[in-house]
């Protein structure tokens, strides 16, 4: 695959961070090593946290969410990328827009018909699960028909003692397992198609978007066979409950479905910015989040994008006090290409990330309305610091090992991945939300500004600011 990497004028020091320092000749951009005190204790950054301005954040959220679905290759995504570049320019933050190729799927329409025993048909609204990058997974023009089989979450154990050969399976949306694995499990067991019902309350008619790409990042010739090849489709929670009731009542239900989609190769445009430290400038903290998003995008991830821009504004004001550098990355290809942007970045700069990146702080979906339980996905060596920051703001943060989600493309390099966000109580998830950890409106046109808890969002922002500034100056390791 052709990879294109273009540099903006004046972006020499970005290369300085990512490439070997010893290979650069002396020039005007050479570092000025200073022994002046920087942020030397956690208490000293309280003034920085106090400078975070919610009006700025709200301005950014309003802009990003006004673009609605911003998928790589679509004008809305390029508008978002240009906006970030412009905001960084206004702050005098050196910026680059990285370019590489991504396959973009286009949904040309999807339909499901339920064939009832009395001869009548019920049509259900649906969206195709976006193609898996290599296969388009569409049906023949005449569609396909088959017996429906409910497989719960769609994990490996859910297919045991169920004959799904030549049938169409119905699974529930969750991260246990995620969509691609549900589809792959169905394919392995001989199913001809997959229907995935949304999570959330049982009466919700919201249809979320999703992808079934099996391979993380751009596929290779060796990983092509891993891609799912059977048609897959999304329906609402209410429609899924309707199908489940039919199965409970009649035992056998037949459905017909048709979906059509195509694939195009387009240029990704991934905006990056960097604020250079004053002592160990070659070392950097990578603050990141996905820019590509589905639906109205307010919580996922306009809030995260807005938070990153506001963090950049405040840290730029205090750049003379930063011991280490801070890089801001707005990932492209997050949704349709399974973290293609972060994977491309790690592949291209693996050695230098391994040598110089201190921490990888992922910001995704902060400020979910109704959320109350803070969860951190991070390696154990970061837990002491997370606890100290939580105590600073009187917040209890539950800590778990990181997993390969949320653009965790650094898993295995040795860079600590840290993702912190508030979600819902176990009782709410189990009894009300059907495990909608990111809200029932996730990846849909219902992801609007009213789903954002402003106070909770600001609380998240303070945590991110504290975590970032800690890594810019603390003696390592932190524990």
Predicted confidence band of residue 224 (pLDDT cuts 50, 70, 90): confident
Cβ burial, residue 400 (10 Å; 0-12/13-18/19+): exposed
Helix (H, G, I), strand (E, B) or coil at 460: helix
Q: Residue 279 half-sphere exposure, CB side, CA atoms within 13 Å?
A: 15
Helices (H), 148-218: 179-188
Length of the chain: 479
| pLDDT tens digits for range 46-88 | 678 888 999 999 999 999 999 977 888 788 889 999 999 999 9
Q: Whole-prediction pTM value?
A: 0.83
Neighbours of 108 (CB within 10 A): 12
**Segment (H or E) for 361:** strand 357-362
* SS3 of the chain: helix, strand, coil, percent, to 5: 35, 25, 40
Question: Distance between CA atoms of 461 and 441, rounded to whole angstroms?
Answer: 22
Q: What are the tokens at 49?
A: 């946290």
Partners of residue 196 on adjacent β-strands: 171, 234
Q: What are the tokens at 412?
A: 């295995």
The pLDDT, as a whole number, for residue 277 is 94
Per-chain mean pLDDT for the chain: 83
Q: Report the percent of the chain where pLDDT is more than 90.
A: 54
CA dihedral 51, 52, 53, 57 (to 10 degrees): 160
Helix (H, G, I), strand (E, B) or coil at 432: coil
The pLDDT, as a whole number, for residue 94 is 93
The least confident of 21-35, 164-178, 202-216 is 21-35
Helix (H, G, I), strand (E, B) or coil at 156: helix
Say which residues have a Cβ less than 8 Å from residue 97's Cβ, sequence separation at least 6: 6, 8, 81, 85, 269, 270, 271, 272
For 210, 265, 267, 436, 439, the CA distances from 174, given in Å and listed in that order, are: 11, 29, 31, 7, 12
Q: What are the tokens at 93?
A: 């933050």
Question: Distance between CA atoms of 164 and 186, rounded to whole angstroms?
Answer: 8
| pLDDT tens digits for range 127-162 | 665 544 334 456 667 788 999 999 999 999 999 999
Partners of residue 399 on adjacent β-strands: 376
The pLDDT, as a whole number, for residue 36 is 39
Say which residues have a Cβ less than 8 Å from residue 318's Cβ, sequence separation at least 6: 48
Q: What are the tokens at 276?
A: 């250079």
The pLDDT, as a whole number, for residue 17 is 36
**Segment (H or E) for 429:** helix 426-431
Q: Does 193 score more than 60 pLDDT? A: yes
Helices (H), 6-72: 12-18, 46-50, 54-66
CA dihedral 29, 33, 34, 37 (to 10 degrees): 100
Residues 34 and 469 sit within 8 Å (Cβ to Cβ): no
Residues 259 and 231 sit within 8 Å (Cβ to Cβ): yes
Helix (H, G, I), strand (E, B) or coil at 464: helix
Question: Distance between CA atoms of 232 and 208, rounded to whole angstroms?
Answer: 13
**Cα 252 to the chain's mean position, in Å?**
38
CA terminus-to-terminus distance, the chain: 42
Predicted confidence band of residue 178 (pLDDT cuts 50, 70, 90): confident
Residues 187 and 165 sit within 8 Å (Cβ to Cβ): no
User: Torsions phi, psi of 460, nearest 5?
Assistant: -60, -45
Cβ burial, residue 401 (10 Å; 0-12/13-18/19+): exposed
| pLDDT tens digits for range 263-284 | 677 888 999 999 999 999 999 9
The pLDDT, as a whole number, for residue 128 is 62
| Residue of 416, 422, 429 lying closest to 359 (CA atoms) | 416
Question: Distance between CA atoms of 228 and 441, rounded to whole angstroms?
Answer: 26
Cβ burial, residue 245 (10 Å; 0-12/13-18/19+): exposed
Q: Report the percent of the chain where pLDDT is more than 70.
A: 84
Residues 153 and 172 sit within 8 Å (Cβ to Cβ): yes
HEC-encoded secondary structure of 74-94: CHHHHHHHHHHHHHHHHCCCE
| Residue of 265, 258, 5 lying closest to 123 (CA atoms) | 258
Q: What are the tokens at 422?
A: 């508030």
Predicted confidence band of residue 201 (pLDDT cuts 50, 70, 90): very high
């Amino acid at each position: 695959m052709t990879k294109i990497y273009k540099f903006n004028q004046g972006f020499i020091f970005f290369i300085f961070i990512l490439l070997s320092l010893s290979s650069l000749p002396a020039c005007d951009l050479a570092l000025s090593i200073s022994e002046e005190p920087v942020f030397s204790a956690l208490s000293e950054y309280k003034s920085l946290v106090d400078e975070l301005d919610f009006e700025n954040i709200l301005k950014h959220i309003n802009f990003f969410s006004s673009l609605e679905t911003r998928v790589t290759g679509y004008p809305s995504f390029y508008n978002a990328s240009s906006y970030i570049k412009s905001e960084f320019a206004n702050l005098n933050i050196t910026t680059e827009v990285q370019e590489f190729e991504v396959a973009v799927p286009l949904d040309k329409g999807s339909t499901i018909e339920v064939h009832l025993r009395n001869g009548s048909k019920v049509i259900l609204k649906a969206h195709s699960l976006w193609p898996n990058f290599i296969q388009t997974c569409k049906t023949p023009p005449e569609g396909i028909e088959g017996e429906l089989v409910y497989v719960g979450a769609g994990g490996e154990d859910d297919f045991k003692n169920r004959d799904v050969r030549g049938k169409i399976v119905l699974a529930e949306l969750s991260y246990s397992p995620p969509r691609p694995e549900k589809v792959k499990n169905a394919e392995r067991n001989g199913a001809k198609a997959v229907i995935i019902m949304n999570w959330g309350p049982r009466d919700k008619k919201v249809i979320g978007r999703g992808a079934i790409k099996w391979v993380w990042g751009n596929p290779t010739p060796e990983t092509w066979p891993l891609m799912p090849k059977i048609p897959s489709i999304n329906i609402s929670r209410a429609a899924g409950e309707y199908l489940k009731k039919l199965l409970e009542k009649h035992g056998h239900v037949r459905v017909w479905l048709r979906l059509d989609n195509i694939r195009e190769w387009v240029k990704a445009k991934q905006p990056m910015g960097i604020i250079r430290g004053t002592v160990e400038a070659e070392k950097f903290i990578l603050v990141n989040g996905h820019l590509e998003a589905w639906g109205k995008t307010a919580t996922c991830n306009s809030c995260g994008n807005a938070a990153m821009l506001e963090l950049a504004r405040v840290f730029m004001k205090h750049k003379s006090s930063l011991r280490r550098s801070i890089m801001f990355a707005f990932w492209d290809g997050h949704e349709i290409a399974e973290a293609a942007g972060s994977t491309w970045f790690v592949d291209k700069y693996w050695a230098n990330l391994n040598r110089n990146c201190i921490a990888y702080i992922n910001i995704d979906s902060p400020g979910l309305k109704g959320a109350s339980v803070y969860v951190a996905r991070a390696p154990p060596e970061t837990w002491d610091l997370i606890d100290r920051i939580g105590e600073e703001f009187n917040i209890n943060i539950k800590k778990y090992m990181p997993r390969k989600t949320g653009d965790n493309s650094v898993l295995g390099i040795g860079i600590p991945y840290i993702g912190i966000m508030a979600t819902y109580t176990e009782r709410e998830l189990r009894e009300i939300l059907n495990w909608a950890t990111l809200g029932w409106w996730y990846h849909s046109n219902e992801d609007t500004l009213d789903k954002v808890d402003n106070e909770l969002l600001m609380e998240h922002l303070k945590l991110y600011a504290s975590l970032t500034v800690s890594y810019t100056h603390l003696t390592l390791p932190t524990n």
